[in-house]
Amino acid sequence: MVVQRSFSSLAAFGAALLLAARGEARADEGMWTFDAPPIDRIAAATGARLDAAWLDAARASAVRLTNGCSGGIVSGQGLVMTNAHCVADCVQTLSGGGEDAYLTDARDREERCAGLQAEALLTITDVTDQVRASVQGKDGEAYVRAREGALALAELAACGQDRTLRCQAVSFFRGGQYKVYKYRRYNDVRLVFAPEAAVAAFGGDPDNFNFPRFAFDVAFLRLYVDEAPAATPVFLPWRSTPPAEGEASFVVGNPGSTERQLTVAQLETQRDLVQPLAQAQRLELRGRLLQFRADDPDRARGAAQALAWVENGVKIGRGRMALLNDRAFMAGKRAEEDALKARVAADPALAATAGVAWDRIADAQDAARDLYPAYRQLENGPGGSDLFYDARLLVRAALERDKPDAERLPEYGDARLPRIERRLLDAPPRDLALERIYLEHWLLKTREALGVDDPRVKALLGGDSPENLARALAETRLVDPAFRAELWAGGRAAVEASDDPLVAFVLRIDGMARAARAAYEAKVSGPVDAAAEAIAGARLALLGDQIYPDATFTLRLSYGRVAGWRERGRAVEPFTTFAGFYARASGAPPFVAPPRWLEARKALAPDTPFDFVTTNDIVGGNSGSPVLDRRGRVMGAIFDGNSHAIGGAYGYDATANRAVALTTAAIGEALSKVYGRAGLADELMGR
Amino acid sequence: MVVQRSFSSLAAFGAALLLAARGEARADEGMWTFDAPPIDRIAAATGARLDAAWLDAARASAVRLTNGCSGGIVSGQGLVMTNAHCVADCVQTLSGGGEDAYLTDARDREERCAGLQAEALLTITDVTDQVRASVQGKDGEAYVRAREGALALAELAACGQDRTLRCQAVSFFRGGQYKVYKYRRYNDVRLVFAPEAAVAAFGGDPDNFNFPRFAFDVAFLRLYVDEAPAATPVFLPWRSTPPAEGEASFVVGNPGSTERQLTVAQLETQRDLVQPLAQAQRLELRGRLLQFRADDPDRARGAAQALAWVENGVKIGRGRMALLNDRAFMAGKRAEEDALKARVAADPALAATAGVAWDRIADAQDAARDLYPAYRQLENGPGGSDLFYDARLLVRAALERDKPDAERLPEYGDARLPRIERRLLDAPPRDLALERIYLEHWLLKTREALGVDDPRVKALLGGDSPENLARALAETRLVDPAFRAELWAGGRAAVEASDDPLVAFVLRIDGMARAARAAYEAKVSGPVDAAAEAIAGARLALLGDQIYPDATFTLRLSYGRVAGWRERGRAVEPFTTFAGFYARASGAPPFVAPPRWLEARKALAPDTPFDFVTTNDIVGGNSGSPVLDRRGRVMGAIFDGNSHAIGGAYGYDATANRAVALTTAAIGEALSKVYGRAGLADELMGR
């Protein structure tokens, strides 16, 4: 799930090197922005010339969920299709530990998902020039602060204080462009339908990032405004007929993050430092969560989602490292970089702005080796621990709000505070037993990464052992929303006076965390960002509309087609069927068909296409993205990538990278025949 | 603990490349056999010319423990010094979960360590010619089987059925030489003294493989014969004065395994396949054991030792991978290989036998990529699970004993059966909760490594989930020694009729495991061993006595000196003191001084050298090795290596690799003043 892609076989690679050396996007590659859709390129590849109406409807119907997923509006009454794994937390909260298929049909039982918001893109505005002006002549930490300040101002200028809107300033092409994305914001998002976890995540970790696949990973939400379903006159028409092999497919969604424009020196840092450190920690955390679950069946349900995310991360980490350690892949990246360097060197104007940029970035990698571990451990904090981040937000917001806007940490500017407040006051419940695991794991790994004799580690632990300290921190009262609200309202005085163990701890280590961040910004991210901006400028000048920006969890358009691929000389068909699902359902977890599916077996047409694959270029964040046909009808929901697509943060190869989706045909069948949700099916089909 | 070494900084490396290119051992490098001690080399390096008396006494006083450690005889009454971490299992069993310092003083309370044996080397006999003759003209699996058969015969010829002896045929120089090591065997080994775990493993995982260090990692055992202490007229004299900086140091012990003679192609397989797979599994298992311990304080003690071994393995794995990913290190290995290849090519006779050997090994690496994961998972089985291995031994011995000796799996030849019987009938208690973790982990990782759709995985799981299957297998009755004895006696009929879940499971999957092994032997280890033997022959012909064989858990001599090293431009002193120990003992685990040590603080001379480092070249298996001075007196006990020494399976660098030892001066002080063990101290000091 949450899809990541990668280059695949070495054989396929050789052929792609020539295009790579030119630095242009290859066949079916690309996550294109809606203000620069590659119409001609799409027409040449798919035969479909997308018009303004198609693009406007797709944009207006696409939603971004604030939990990192995508979705599509599929009725005039605010109905949104997304993945079941995108709403698992909400299902768990609302179903209260009991029945895990959220099967309510009556409109008045659609209940709110705490903390979840949906955002639909309205406009895109270029603010590159004003950001450029603000950073002129600055470098290091000052550069970073000036840029962040300018972006915050641009957001405020575009949205003002309108709480039905959200404005977000985004860097594209690693600083080559800055744009403000303005969204219609929906703060009230309710759960309409989610299937049983067993069928949503059928095949579990073993099948994740694999295909053939048999997961019913879909859920429906509804946008509400003023306690009533939102009117959404523009929506995606539902297609009940299955996709056909070879037909054009378009994915509209929010790929989260790619690093395809990193320099070779940066990729080497990823390979030698960043990814190994993260992966070692993830693997150990995975073991902890597996054991936590095994030791107590009552915990199984609460731990399952936490474990699923970590296991997903493990697969992504493995895929990324495999790609970074692939000599052919790195040779391709080197060839691409050398070609761009040569073109820059041949152009006096570009050479003046970007000529030394690669060396600057390489120099900063030496600093990264020294500074990254402390930055990661102290400033990023414990992965998974929502309560630590709640405490961090409370502490920092309290300290920063006392300062003039321009002197604050950029993420605590006035324009950003409402979002922080909402996160703190509108949070879903937290599981203290899991929080304690995350905290203990983080303390142990911080000691390991920095060394037991590092003064920061000594200060962090304050003479205690990681185990004891984590136990004490997990006594925090931050699980109580009222307590969070009180601290938020009380500001600096309340935070500084608090005897809550976690709040006091975060306050105590805050200076150390800020110092690690400041050092990293001064010596690594500041210099790198400035140099990357120069390279991006050169790339844009030389390659113009042949390139797309790295993913930034903003709305993108991907084109492709429904197609299998060849695996070790054998063809992998693009579709699975209901029949295949029942054949795989051995009854041993994670291959369990829920009772409803067993009962409905005879009613379902066995040959109905269930899951399918396309060549669309997608990554994590695209989960829940609608798959559209050339007429703009929705024919599937993205929920994963195949194994070749895992390392796709760094590249794409159309011969083997595949997006994995669920057909709307199967969704319609199952809603009617497995779940008896005729009303919902009627709404989808416009009946 | 269990010491592993590695190359260190890149800077140090350049200088070493020239020597490396000649393929000779560098300063202080080497684990030399007692039948070819490099007397002149040692004299040149240390100024000490070791004579036959010195060498004979050292050899006769050295013991090898069957749990993978070393030790030294230090009195005429069979007293053996080793590390506390080498007897942790025994301490736990004998102390029955109570007081964990095993402080008995009265001779009649010295209790037996179940399953532990000690072996003292008597003679070394070269059997290379007869092994060569037996494998003549064979290759692949037939080569492996013929060789193993010849080795088993050589053992039987040397020791007969004398149960006070053990003979072991060993390959040196990867097949360049075969020798039979004949040992005096002690089957009755009793615990005399072991300190509290808190001080034996002071600093725990954070301090493991680090220095400065403050661990009191020593224990004493006694060899018994016929219920009385063994008479050991040859023993190591005890030195009460501490080592001096710069003085010569000699380590006599049994380094377990190194791979310094692997070809570059094999090192790449280690780097890309073997080590990453093992490390990922270890990290996850570490997380499981950490959580298992955290979830229930009652388990803490039982899990601590299991966790310590896994964490030790994690550090070793990390060190190995760091070295294999070090471009300078690999360049050195390549230069060394190229130089040897050139010399082989220039010599027609060597070219004829070894010219194609490197290519043969490289070709086998392609097969390894396909075959290694199944071989590792199915034939090697679940790491840590003693009961699985018990079941495997019972099942295979039962099946093999029905065949003529020559047709059996070599490790089940008549000469090997007594050792198997002893393991099965004389085993320490097993912890079923830990066994279940190992089994579940192994089943999950096997499914992950081979894939959920692999027919072998389906057969392994038999339609069940790994979790459920592990739960069922952990219901085994093999924890009961009487049950093991019954199955051993009952042979094939008893094993095939058994309804014990683990025995039945191992029998069910045995064919599959054998097939994975046979395929690996036919395509990988067989061809590799034959080619390695040819290379070893060429190395011996060209370099003769300038080289030493890779470690094989046989007795070796290392020479060096007491010396610190420079770390990031700063000198690390070679000694720590009692004062440093107390300063580090914050009271937060793992930095806890036990009550006895706190009470004795004033009685101990604060400047007494505690732990120290030497340049000796040692690895895992050397734990417990005596450190001798030039007069043959014991002045320390090896228990670890420094961080640079971790990856030492592949190489050694005298500028930074250090062995970590405990001074006999500190041992004597503490025995008297902390533990009140005057009798033991008197025995050591010959009073």
pLDDT tens track for A534-553 = 999 999 999 987 899 999 99
Task: List the single best residue of B209, B210, B281, B290 to mutate versus A (max A Cβ within 10 A).
Answer: B290
User: Do residues B34 and B55 touch, judged by C-beta distance below 8 A?
Assistant: yes
Please write the tens of the pLDDT for every residue from B79-98. Answer: 999 999 999 889 888 887 66
Q: Residue A416: which pLDDT band, with cuts at 50, 70 and 90?
A: confident
Predicted local distance difference test score (pLDDT) of residue B97: 61
For the cut 80, the answer to whether the pLDDT of residue A233 exceeds it is yes
- Rounded to a whole number, what is the distance in Å from the CA of B320 to chain A's nearest CA? 14
Predicted local distance difference test score (pLDDT) of residue A20: 42
Predicted local distance difference test score (pLDDT) of residue A108: 62
- Mean pLDDT computed over A268-297: 94
- Mean pLDDT computed over A23-27: 70
Q: How many angstroms separate the CA atoms of A640 and A592, rounded?
A: 20
Predicted local distance difference test score (pLDDT) of residue A297: 72
Q: Residue A194: which pLDDT band, with cuts at 50, 70 and 90?
A: very high
For the cut 90, the answer to whether the pLDDT of residue B241 exceeds it is yes
Neighbouring CB atoms inside 10 A of A547's CB total 22
Tokens at residue A214, please?
Answer: 């048999």
Compare A101 and B347 and report the one with higher pLDDT: B347
For the cut 50, the answer to whether the pLDDT of residue B12 exceeds it is no
> Could you tell me the sign of the dihedral formed by the alpha carbons of A187, A193, A194, A196, in that order?
positive
- Mean pLDDT computed over B256-285: 96
- Rounded to a whole number, what is the distance in Å from the CA of B267 to chain A's nearest CA? 15
User: Do residues B170 and B154 touch, judged by C-beta distance below 8 A?
Assistant: no
- Mean pLDDT computed over B160-168: 90
Please write the tens of the pLDDT for every residue from B33-91. Answer: 999 999 999 999 999 999 999 999 999 999 999 999 999 999 999 999 999 999 988 98
**What is the DSSP annotation of A328-397?**
HHHHHHHHHHHHHHHHHHTSHHHHHHHTTHHHHHHHHHHHHHHHHHHIIIIII--TT-HHHHHHHHHHHH
Q: Give, in order, the Cα–Cα distances in Å from A553 to each of A417, A510, B224.
A: 20, 28, 71
A580-585: list long-range contacts, CB under 8 Å, 24+ apart: A580/A212, A580/A214, A580/A610, A581/A202, A581/A214, A581/A610, A582/A606, A584/A202, A584/A203, A584/A214, A585/A202
Predicted local distance difference test score (pLDDT) of residue A2: 36
Q: What is the average pLDDT value for chain A, to the nearest integer?
A: 91
Q: Note whether A284 contacts B287, CB cutoff 8 Å.
A: yes
Task: List the single best residue of B210, B270, B295, B296 to mutate versus A (max A Cβ within 10 A).
Answer: B295
Q: How many angstroms separate the CA atoms of B538 and B635, rounded?
A: 39
Phi-psi region of A544 (alpha: psi -120 to 50; beta: other; left: phi over 0): left
- Rounded to a whole number, what is the distance in Å from the CA of B464 to chain A's nearest CA? 5
Q: A51: exposed, middle or buried (C-beta count within 10 Å: 0-12, 13-18, 19+)?
A: exposed
For the cut 50, the answer to whether the pLDDT of residue B19 exceeds it is no
Upper half-sphere CA count for residue B624 (Cβ side, 13 Å)? 32
- Mean pLDDT computed over A54-70: 96
Q: Which helix (H) or strand (E) holds A671?
A: helix A664-673
Predicted local distance difference test score (pLDDT) of residue A56: 97
- Mean pLDDT computed over A344-355: 96
Q: What is the average pLDDT value for chain B, to the nearest integer?
A: 91
Q: Is the pTM of this model over 0.90?
A: yes
Report the chain A residue with the minimal C-alpha distance to residue B433. Answer: A295
Predicted local distance difference test score (pLDDT) of residue B205: 95
Tokens at residue A372, please?
Answer: 């990254």
Predicted local distance difference test score (pLDDT) of residue B525: 93
Q: Which residues of B touch A461 (CB under 8 A)?
A: 588
For the cut 70, the answer to whether the pLDDT of residue A22 exceeds it is no
Q: Residue A17: which pLDDT band, with cuts at 50, 70 and 90?
A: very low
Predicted local distance difference test score (pLDDT) of residue A23: 59
The two beta strands, A575-577 and A79-82, are: unpaired
Please write the tens of the pLDDT for every residue from B503-525. Answer: 999 999 999 999 999 999 999 99
Q: Which residues of A touch B286 (CB under 8 A)?
A: 284, 287
User: Do residues B675 and B663 touch, judged by C-beta distance below 8 A?
Assistant: no
The two beta strands, A62-65 and A570-572, are: unpaired
Q: Note whether B292 contacts A290, CB cutoff 8 Å.
A: no
Instruction: Return the closest-CA partner of residue B6 out of B659, B531, B680.
Output: B659
Q: b or e along B460-476 (b: 16 or more beta carbons within 10 Å of the residue's beta carbon)?
A: bbeebbbbebbbebbeb
User: Do residues A164 and A185 touch, judged by C-beta distance below 8 A?
Assistant: yes
With pLDDT > 70 as the criterion, what percentage of chain A qualifies? 95
Residues 362-421 on B with a CB inside 8 Å of A are none
Predicted local distance difference test score (pLDDT) of residue B419: 85
Q: B628: exposed, middle or buried (C-beta count within 10 Å: 0-12, 13-18, 19+)?
A: buried
Q: Give me the amino acid identity at A95.
A: S
Q: Residue A105: which pLDDT band, with cuts at 50, 70 and 90?
A: low
Predicted local distance difference test score (pLDDT) of residue A27: 79
For residue A668, give the 3-state DSSP assignment.
Answer: helix
For the cut 90, the answer to whether the pLDDT of residue A163 exceeds it is no
Tell me whether A589 touches chain B (CB under 8 Å): yes
DSSP B137: T
For residue A244, give the 3-state DSSP assignment.
Answer: coil
| Option in A291, A295, A589 nearest B465 (CB) | A589
| Option in B285, B286, B463 nearest A588 (CB) | B463
- Mean pLDDT computed over A352-372: 96
For the cut 80, the answer to whether the pLDDT of residue A73 exceeds it is yes
Q: What's chain B's length in residues?
A: 687
> How far from the centroid of its chain's Cα atoms is residue A628's Cα?
21
Predicted local distance difference test score (pLDDT) of residue A613: 98
First to last CA, chain A: 32
Please write the tens of the pLDDT for every residue from B367-387. Answer: 999 999 999 999 999 999 999
First to last CA, chain B: 32
Please write the tens of the pLDDT for every residue from B278-332. Answer: 999 999 999 999 999 887 777 777 788 899 999 999 999 999 999 999 999 999 9
User: Do residues A319 and A4 touch, judged by C-beta distance below 8 A?
Assistant: yes
Q: Residue A426: which pLDDT band, with cuts at 50, 70 and 90?
A: confident
Tokens at residue A256, please?
Answer: 């989260």
For the cut 50, the answer to whether the pLDDT of residue B1 exceeds it is no
Predicted local distance difference test score (pLDDT) of residue B428: 83
Compare B231 and B5 and report the one with higher pLDDT: B231
Q: Residue A21: which pLDDT band, with cuts at 50, 70 and 90?
A: very low
For residue B126, give the 3-state DSSP assignment.
Answer: strand
Q: How many angstroms separate the CA atoms of A275 and B464, rounded?
A: 34
- Mean pLDDT computed over A408-427: 88
User: Do residues A427 and A484 touch, judged by C-beta distance below 8 A?
Assistant: yes
Q: Which helix (H) or strand (E) holds B92?
A: helix B88-95
Q: Which residues of A touch B295 (CB under 8 A)?
A: 291-292, 295-296
With pLDDT > 70 as the criterion, what percentage of chain B qualifies? 95
The two beta strands, B575-577 and B570-572, are: unpaired
B427 contact partners, CB below 8 Å, separation of at least 6: B114, B115, B386, B390, B481, B484
Q: Residue B258: which pLDDT band, with cuts at 50, 70 and 90?
A: very high
For the cut 60, the answer to whether the pLDDT of residue A11 exceeds it is no
Instruction: Return the closest-CA partner of residue B653 out of B210, B211, B13.
Output: B13
Predicted local distance difference test score (pLDDT) of residue B336: 94
Neighbouring CB atoms inside 10 A of A422's CB total 15
For the cut 70, the answer to whether the pLDDT of residue A290 exceeds it is yes
- Mean pLDDT computed over A520-531: 93
Q: How many angstroms separate the CA atoms of B320 and B274, rounded?
A: 11
Residue ranges and CATH numbers for the domains of chain B are: 10-117+187-257+553-684 (2.40.10.120), 264-543 (no CATH)
Q: Residue A144: which pLDDT band, with cuts at 50, 70 and 90?
A: confident
For residue B203, give the 3-state DSSP assignment.
Answer: coil
Tokens at residue B420, please?
Answer: 């198997």
Angle between helices A481-497 and A501-520 (to 10 degrees): 70
Predicted local distance difference test score (pLDDT) of residue B18: 39
- Mean pLDDT computed over B261-284: 96
Instruction: Return the closest-CA partner of residue B476 out of B498, B446, B455.
Output: B498
Predicted local distance difference test score (pLDDT) of residue B564: 97
Report the chain A residue with the minimal C-alpha distance to residue B467. Answer: A294
**For residue A248, which phi and psi values (nearest 5 degrees)?**
-65, 140
For the cut 70, the answer to whether the pLDDT of residue B335 exceeds it is yes
> How far from the centroid of its chain's Cα atoms is residue A591's Cα?
27
> How far from the centroid of its chain's Cα atoms is residue B535's Cα?
25
Compare B162 and B574 and report the one with higher pLDDT: B574
Q: Residue A24: which pLDDT band, with cuts at 50, 70 and 90?
A: low
| Option in A206, A288, A295 nearest B287 (CB) | A288
Q: How many angstroms separate the CA atoms of A455 and B687, rounded?
A: 47
Q: Residue A140: which pLDDT band, with cuts at 50, 70 and 90?
A: confident
User: Do residues B203 and B598 touch, judged by C-beta distance below 8 A?
Assistant: no
Predicted local distance difference test score (pLDDT) of residue B104: 58
Predicted local distance difference test score (pLDDT) of residue B10: 29
DSSP B455: H
Report the largest interatomic distance among the alpha carbons of chain A, rounded to a whole angstrom: 72
User: Do residues B165 and B182 touch, judged by C-beta distance below 8 A?
Assistant: yes
| Option in A279, A287, A586 nearest B286 (CB) | A287
